């Protein structure tokens, strides 16, 4: 699909605005609603068992604060239960409190607390139940997730879980809960990276390798995008890792400032001298940049993202703009002109538009093409989630295809995997009528 795209733009632009207010979900692949508390974990060997570190992140505006003298205090209890095949294996509870200085901070959706609690368990498959009880409001928030702790063989190489961190700094004496091997490691918890920080930190430990045989091993770091493209790869010799008491470890820093919004899989592989896999660990993460960050860091990309909501004249005018402050002003003026409710702080059209761009990038990217640039991405951004998707991935003598139905608009779109590589191309009639 090439020349036909230009024709399609002109037809569909009028249909975006009416859908902004009626769509509150993502149709056949829904996004979870904002959670009161975010929970993540990693695990590190402790003798014959694993130490399960559970990290949690609470946003201030989700808690109830009580004023005490010149401060505002929140008080809560954390309960952790680890189940194996429906039976409780271990549990722990902790009462905590934290204070802030002013009322505005208690209402902030961007201010938060990160904390850490621990459980100990042998190898196995578990369900972790996490409960937060706000003492000041009696509001209860729950989170459950499955956890696999791998078997431990003391004489064989083994990797810990991968801890994704928002910051790592060397410290001296400290009582912080986040200290490991002389560094304070603040976990990300949300597994989301982007502005204002353009780096990803990883902490891990390696067991079962002695100083005598580190020469025989290589460590490979890989970051793979959702479209199976490897965007980062680095290999180092295990002998270069620092060690403490026969446990090797590392603080790995990866620059992500050039990586587009997308879900990625981080893989750490231990290879022998023949290049064969010995053991591995992996974790899923998300890179997400705010629209304003794109304006500051990559103007051409920021303008290109507007391709489905701006006219050719508007795009030309934006591309010709120079100077950081002038670009920011032009970008803000552009969205102000599209704001369906200019008397309110929110710009619903802008918020919905970037949500759809984000969804398209996460679900429709293929090889080196970002999702919003694909035909499926184009239709999704223009029309939002379809009311129904009819998928036909495997049929004899027929290429894989999908049909998206928009009953409310009396439209349907046919996409065919023409080349068999997973990129579905829009077929005639392109306007979906």
Give pLDDT tens digits for 341-370: 988 888 999 999 999 998 998 889 887 788
CA angle 348/352/354 to nearest 5° reads: 120
Higher pLDDT, 374 or 25: 374
For the ranges 19-28, 115-124, 268-277, 388-397, which has the lowest average pLDDT? 19-28
Given a cut of 60, whether residue 142 has pLDDT beyond it is yes
Q: How far apart are CA 67 and CA 101, in angstroms?
A: 10
Q: How far apart are CA 182 and CA 243, in angstroms?
A: 12
At residue 144 the predicted structure's pLDDT band, cuts being 50, 70 and 90, is: very high
Higher pLDDT, 230 or 212: 230
Strands 218-225 vs 66-68: parallel, antiparallel or unpaired: unpaired
Given a cut of 60, whether residue 22 has pLDDT beyond it is no
At residue 220 the predicted structure's pLDDT band, cuts being 50, 70 and 90, is: very high
Given a cut of 80, whether residue 23 has pLDDT beyond it is no
pTM above 0.85, yes or no: no
Given a cut of 70, whether residue 8 has pLDDT beyond it is no
Q: How far apart are CA 288 and CA 300, in angstroms?
A: 17
Q: Return the pLDDT at 34.
A: 57
Q: Return the pLDDT at 113.
A: 92
Per-chain mean pLDDT for the chain: 87
Per-residue HEC secondary structure of the chain comes to: CCHHHHHHHHHHHHHHHHHHCCCCCCCCCCCCCCCCEEEEEEEEEECCEEEEEEEEEEEHHHCCCEEECCEEEEEEEEEEEEEECCEEEEEEEEEEEEEECCHHHHCCCCCEEEEEEEEEECCEEEEEEEEEEECCCCEEEEEEEEEEECCCCCCCCEECCCEEEEEEEECCCCCCCCEECCEEEEECCCCEEECCECEEEEEEEEECCCCCCHHHCEEEEEEEECCCCEEEEEEEEHHHCCEECCEEEEEEEEECCCCCCEEEEEEEEEECCCCCEEEEEEEEEEECCCHHHHHHHCHHHHHHCCCCCCCHHHHHHHHCCCCHHHHHHHHHHHHHHHCCCCCCCCCHHHHHHHHHHHHHHHHHCECCECHHHCHHHHHHHHHCCCCEEEEECCECCECCEEEEEEHHHCEEEEEECCCCCCCCEECCCCCCC
Question: What average pLDDT does this structure show over 125-129?
Answer: 97
Q: How far apart are CA 35 and CA 405, in angstroms?
A: 31
Given a cut of 70, whether residue 2 has pLDDT beyond it is no
Extents of the domains making up the chain? 3-28+290-426, 37-287
Given a cut of 80, whether residue 11 has pLDDT beyond it is no
Given a cut of 90, whether residue 379 has pLDDT beyond it is yes
At residue 234 the predicted structure's pLDDT band, cuts being 50, 70 and 90, is: very high
Give pLDDT tens digits for 268-300: 999 998 899 999 999 999 888 889 888 988 899
Q: Return the pLDDT at 228.
A: 79
Q: Return the pLDDT at 175.
A: 77
Question: What average pLDDT does this structure show over 66-95?
Answer: 95
Question: What average pLDDT does this structure show over 224-240?
Answer: 88
- Residue 203: beta bridge partners? 163, 251
Given a cut of 70, whether residue 190 has pLDDT beyond it is yes
At residue 394 the predicted structure's pLDDT band, cuts being 50, 70 and 90, is: confident
Q: Return the pLDDT at 35.
A: 73
Question: What average pLDDT does this structure show over 250-254?
Answer: 94
Fold of 37-287: Immunoglobulin-like (2.60.40)
What are 5's two structure tokens? 């795209």
Give pLDDT tens digits for 150-180: 999 888 999 999 999 988 988 876 678 899 9
Question: What average pLDDT does this structure show over 321-328?
Answer: 94
Q: How far apart are the first and last CA of the chain?
A: 17
Give the percent of the chain with pLDDT over 90.
Answer: 66
């Amino acid at each position: 699909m090439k020349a036909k795209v230009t024709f399609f733009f002109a037809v569909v632009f009028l249909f975006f605005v009416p859908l902004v207010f009626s769509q509150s979900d993502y149709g056949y692949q829904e996004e979870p609603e904002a959670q009161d508390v975010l929970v993540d974990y990693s695990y590190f060997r402790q003798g014959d068992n694993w130490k399960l570190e559970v990290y949690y992140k609470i946003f201030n505006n989700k808690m109830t604060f009580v004023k005490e003298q010149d401060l505002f205090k929140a008080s809560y209890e954390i309960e952790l239960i680890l189940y194996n095949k429906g039976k409780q294996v271990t549990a722990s509870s902790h009462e905590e409190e934290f204070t802030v200085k002013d009322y505005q901070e208690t209402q902030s959706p961007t201010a938060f607390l990160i904390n850490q609690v621990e459980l100990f368990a042998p190898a196995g498959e578990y369900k972790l139940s996490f409960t937060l009880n706000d003492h000041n409001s009696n509001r209860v928030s729950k989170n459950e997730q499955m956890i696999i702790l791998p078997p431990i063989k003391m004489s064989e190489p083994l990797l810990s879980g991968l801890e994704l961190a928002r910051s790592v700094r060397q410290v001296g004496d400290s009582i912080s809960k986040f200290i490991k091997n002389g560094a304070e490691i603040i976990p990300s918890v949300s597994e989301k990276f982007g502005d204002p920080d353009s780096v990803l930190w990883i902490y891990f430990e390696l067991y079962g390798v002695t100083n005598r045989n580190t020469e025989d091993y290589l460590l490979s770091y890989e970051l793979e995008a959702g479209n199976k493209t490897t965007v980062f790869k680095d290999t180092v010799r295990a002998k270069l890792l620092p060690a403490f008491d026969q446990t090797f470890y590392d603080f790995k820093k990866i620059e992500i400032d050039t990586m587009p919004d997308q879900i990625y899989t981080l893989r750490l592989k231990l290879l022998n001298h023949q290049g064969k896999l010995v053991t591995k660990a992996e974790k899923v993460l998300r890179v997400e940049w705010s629209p304003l960050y794109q304006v500051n860091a990559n103007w051409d990309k920021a303008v290109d993202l507007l391709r489905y909501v701006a006219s050719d004249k508007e795009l030309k005018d934006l591309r010709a703009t120079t100077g950081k402050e002038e670009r920011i002003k032009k970008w803000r003026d552009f969205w102000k002109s599209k704001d369906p409710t200019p008397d309110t702080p929110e710009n619903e059209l802008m918020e919905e538009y970037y949500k759809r761009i984000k969804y398209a990038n996460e679900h429709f990217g293929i090889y080196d093409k970002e999702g919003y640039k694909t035909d499926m991405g184009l239709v999704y951004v223009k029309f939002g989630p379809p009311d129904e998707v009819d998928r036909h991935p495997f049929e004899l003598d027929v290429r894989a295809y999908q049909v998206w139905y928009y009953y409310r608009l009396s439209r349907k779109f046919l996409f065919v995997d023409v080349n068999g590589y997973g990129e579905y191309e829009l077929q005639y009639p392109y306007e979906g009528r």
